[in-house]
Chain A
Amino acid sequence: GQSLEQPSEVTAVEGAIVQINCTYQTSGFYGLSWYQQHDGGAPTFLSYNALDGLEETGRFSSFLSRSDSYGYLLLQELQMKDSASYFCAVRPYNAGNNRKLIWGLGTSLAVNP
């Protein structure tokens, strides 16, 4: 089967760095995406890794290692507004023409003062 695993909750303080891991069991996929969702809001796209390595976008970076079946989202200089849920998602090769994403259950990040 195909599944993504993330920690359910992470807590950090303002200004700190936090890493949210995503491990997966899937035969192959096009890339790893990360989405952010604030309470009651819509998920919004953060980053996409098609290749192994680090992608940096401002305070957020995302990493993928296909050989280790592992990826992570790194949030630096944490701010209170970063308190949200973070989801990783992949599109399996065997999805064919459809663009269905396999989603993790999400990590709830709480940033404390």
Chain B
Amino acid sequence: DSGVTQTPKHLITATGQRVTLRCSPRSGDLSVYWYQQSLDQGLQFLIQYYNGEERAKGNILERFSAQQFPDLHSELNLSSLELGDSALYFCASSVELDVGETQYFGPGTRLLVL
């Protein structure tokens, strides 16, 4: 158990809908990262937040948005969903004490768009 929690574990929805994925980082971690992993694919970095502020953007679509709240939990919002958005979405957190710190991953949310 990494200490990172994600809800829901599974999500089935229809094209055109909007969903929100939630992540709670490890206690004390200030950074949250969101990743997308499609079937048999590597990890695609989406976005990073540090202490409530956006720190880095990756290959995140305009239909997707995220935020980190004062209590450090984060939400990833996916809208106008398409079949191709079906994937595993991981959240990770790190403490950012030094440049080599580890990222701790949550169990992921498996999204299926029908």
Contact = CB atoms under 8 A, between A and B. Distances in A.
B45 interface: yes
B33 to A, nearest CB: 8
Interface residues of B, number: 27
A95 B105 CA distance: 21
Nearest to B88: A40
Given A98-B48, A99-B96, A44 B41 contact: no
B61 interface: no
21 contacts: A42-B2, A42-B90, A42-B108, A43-B90, A45-B102, A45-B103, A45-B104, A48-B100, A48-B102, A97-B50, A98-B55, A98-B56, A99-B33, A99-B50, A100-B33, A100-B45, A100-B56, A103-B42, A105-B41, A105-B42, A106-B42
Interface of B: 2, 31, 33, 41-43, 45, 48, 50, 55-56, 58, 88, 90, 92, 94, 96, 99-108
